[in-house]
Amino acid sequence: MNQYESIIIVNPNVDEAGLKALEEKFTGLINENGKVESVENMGKKKLAYEIKKQSEGTYLLFNFEAKTDSIKELERVYRITDEVMKFIVVKK
């Protein structure tokens, strides 16, 4: 299994309960084929440019290890989740 880091930018209109639900959803998905080491809510930050007519976003950082083939599924779920504005998954 490889080490990965993923940052997602969530719509700033999502409340704390919604953020917790998203965190649990993605943690559960990662844990199916790997292991989450840490999740950090980095808070709201101003974006360099507008994304989906938003000038701010809430950043969530996931550090995890997973099998290579499970990353495609994780990215697919990121894409179809309406609250996620941008994401990136990087192999460490």
4-37 tens-digit pLDDT: 999 999 999 999 999 999 999 999 999 998 999 9
In this structure, what CATH number is given to the domain that contains residue 57? Answer: 3.30.70.60
Q: Which pLDDT score, from 0 to 100, does residue 65 have? A: 94
Rounded to whole angstroms, the Cα distance separating 72 from 20 reads 23
Asked whether the CA dihedral 76, 48, 12, 38 is positive or negative, the reply is positive
Give the predicted TM-score (pTM) of the model: 0.89
- Structural domain tally of the chain? 1
Which domain does 34 fall in, by range? 2-91
37-65 tens-digit pLDDT: 999 999 999 999 999 899 999 999 999 99
Rounded to whole angstroms, the Cα distance separating 57 from 86 reads 9
